[in-house]
């Protein structure tokens, strides 16, 4: 194709891009943003209603653009967003939050998820501050069983979550637990780089496994099951079991010794030795641990006042095993005799709960919604940049969805993604 006298070459893709942009549906044209839910390190989450006539409710996660001073810059898609999108589009399980689509618009990424009315943290606060009564054994077992069921699915799909905590574990109005927020999750089957590379600090400090606190550079699924033990203990006692103060990184981004957090663990589970944890004395932080006072294991005493059942204590004891290779796996936990003891877990975690004992729906505010809502005045207008929202068919072969550790939900035929 010949250019003009000035040597200008026509762009053969210009017509295609223009047509594609005109047909692109914006976030505001597909969803009505009704309120702000929460914000985190990587983005903000909003409640939205579909405009397709079904009035279905969704949670939309908007990743933050990069900032240099007061100017928003675009430096590409973050590693966390890429991981979360890649993992979510491959998985499908009733106890894991389902991603509906991904939209790239105005140099921001929007991930659309199914909506859940509650989370574990909300349940804990409702019982601690409003009801001032413990969570019933039936609810505790049901929440724990479903959490383990969803986590087994992820682990058998070679995914470790690496950020399990009450705020990241959701519950919908049907009493179904949904594991959410895979922003720190990693594939453990033939990863392209070691898990330690790029993520020197993982898991919120109160739920961080001892091997991570001891500076381990190699770890596996056991970091998640330790976190499950912490979550179960918090559900039972209505407060974190290991509530330590986190030591912050220095200016050179060196990972500090987490002295206070380790002491909180040792105070309950006792100070380990080589018999409890082969290789413990070879851990990077062992010389620092040697300077600490020794503590005896008092987990049984703790459980006697909080869980009040020997089988409940036995489950926690195995989840809090120091040696990661001997720590209880989700598969083993699901067949633990605690779940066979009455009351047994139910598919609807709230089945036995009176109405006022169910926490209210998550709080929605108008705070911080302006950046999304302001575009809704002209929902049909095409975006100023070419935004992508392509359909994608499920991958063939042994995808993550075929490796369920529990019952699978039906997989949709099409999903949208970047």
Q: Domain containing 172 — which CATH number? A: 1.10.510.10
Quick one: CA dihedral 228, 311, 237, 128, positive or negative? positive
Cα 354 to its chain centre, rounded Å, is: 29
pLDDT > 70? residue 379: no
Give the range among 69-83, 261-275, 307-321, 326-340 with minimum mean pLDDT. Answer: 69-83
pLDDT at position 356: 76
Give the range among 281-285, 336-340, 413-417 with minimum mean pLDDT. Answer: 413-417
- Same structural domain for residues 171 and 314? yes
54/253 Cα distance (integer angstroms): 48
pLDDT at position 19: 76
- Same structural domain for residues 237 and 249? yes
pLDDT confidence tier of residue 392, bands split at 50, 70 and 90: very low
pLDDT > 60? residue 196: no
- Same structural domain for residues 336 and 378? no
Average pLDDT of the chain, as a whole number = 83
- CA neighbor of 54 nearest in space, from 23, 31, 26: 31
The pTM of this model reads 0.82
- Same structural domain for residues 89 and 174? no
In DSSP terms, 67 is beta-bridged to 72
Give the range of the structural domain holding residue 75, as residue numbers without chain letter: 14-116+363-387+394-406
- Same structural domain for residues 92 and 138? no
The answer as to whether 417 is a domain residue is no
Element (H or E) spanning 328, and its range? none
- Same structural domain for residues 244 and 310? yes
- Same structural domain for residues 42 and 150? no
pLDDT > 70? residue 17: yes
Dump pLDDT digits (tens) for 299-346: 999 999 899 899 999 999 999 999 999 999 999 999 999 999 999 999
Is 163 assigned a catalytic role? yes
- Same structural domain for residues 256 and 176? yes
Report the pLDDT averaged over residues 60-71: 70
- Same structural domain for residues 275 and 401? no
Q: Is 236:174 a contact under the CB 8 Å cutoff?
A: no
- Same structural domain for residues 149 and 279? yes
Residues 6+ apart with CB under 8 A from 11: none
The answer as to whether 1 is a domain residue is no
pLDDT at position 238: 97
- In the chain, the number of structural domains is 2
Dump pLDDT digits (tens) for 87-138: 999 999 999 999 999 998 877 889 999 999 999 999 999 999 999 999 999 9
Q: Which pair of structure tokens corresponds to residue 408?
A: 């699978």
- Same structural domain for residues 55 and 130? no
The answer as to whether 415 is a domain residue is no
- DSSP-derived pairing of the beta strands 57-63 and 43-50: antiparallel
Length of the chain: 418
Main-chain phi, psi angles of 222, to 5 degrees: -60, -20
> Which of 163, 260, 273, 293 is flagged as catalytic?
163
Residues 6+ apart with CB under 8 A from 353: 136, 138, 139
The answer as to whether 131 is a domain residue is yes
**Residue scoring higher pLDDT (369 or 86):** 86
* Runs of H (alpha helix) within 299-349: 299-306, 310-319, 330-334
pLDDT at position 110: 93
């Amino acid at each position: 194709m010949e250019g003009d006298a000035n040597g200008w070459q026509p762009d053969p893709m210009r017509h295609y891009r223009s047509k594609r942009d005109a047909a692109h549906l914006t976030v505001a044209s597909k969803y009505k943003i009704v309120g702000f839910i929460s914000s985190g390190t990587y983005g903000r989450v909003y409640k939205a209603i579909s405009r397709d006539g079904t009035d279905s409710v969704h949670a939309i996660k908007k990743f933050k653009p990069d900032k240099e001073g007061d100017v928003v810059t675009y430096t590409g898609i973050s590693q966390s967003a890429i991981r979360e999108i890649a993992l979510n589009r491959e998985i499908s399980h009733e106890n894991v939050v389902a991603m509906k689509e991904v939209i790239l618009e105005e140099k921001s990424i929007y991930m659309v998820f199914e909506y859940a009315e509650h989370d574990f943290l909300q349940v804990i606060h409702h019982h601690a501050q409003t009801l001032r009564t413990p969570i019933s054994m039936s609810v505790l077992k049901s929440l724990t069983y479903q959490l383990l069921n969803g986590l087994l699915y992820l682990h058998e799909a070679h995914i470790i979550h690496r950020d399990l905590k009450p705020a990241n574990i959701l519950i919908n109005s049907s009493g179904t637990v949904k594991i959410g927020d895979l922003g720190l999750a990693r594939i453990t089957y033939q990863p392209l780089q070691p898990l330690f590379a790029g993520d020197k600090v993982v898991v919120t400090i109160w739920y961080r496994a001892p091997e991570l606190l001891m500076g381990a550079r190699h770890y596996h699924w056991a970091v998640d099951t330790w976190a499950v033990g912490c979550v179960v203990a918090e559900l039972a006692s209505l407060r974190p079991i290991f509530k330590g103060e986190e030591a912050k990184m220095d200016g050179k981004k060196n990972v500090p010794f987490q002295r206070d957090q380790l002491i909180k663990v040792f105070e309950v589970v006792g100070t380990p030795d080589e018999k409890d944890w082969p290789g413990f004395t070879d851990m990077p932080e062992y010389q620092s641990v040697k300077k600490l006072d020794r503590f005896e294991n008092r987990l049984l005493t703790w459980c006697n006042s909080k869980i009040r059942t020997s089988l409940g204590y036995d489950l926690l004891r195995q989840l809090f095993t120091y040696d990661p290779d001997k720590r209880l796996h989700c598969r083993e936990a699901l067949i633990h005799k605690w779940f066979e003891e009455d009351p047994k877990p139910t598919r609807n975690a709230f089945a036995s709960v009176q109405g006022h004992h169910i926490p209210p729906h998550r709080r929605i505010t108008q705070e911080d919604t302006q950046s999304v809502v302001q575009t809704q005045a002209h929902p049909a207008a095409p975006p100023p940049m070419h935004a992508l929202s392509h359909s994608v068919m499920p991958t063939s072969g042994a995808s993550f969805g075929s490796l369920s550790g529990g019952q699978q939900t039906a997989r949709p035929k099409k999903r949208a993604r970047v």
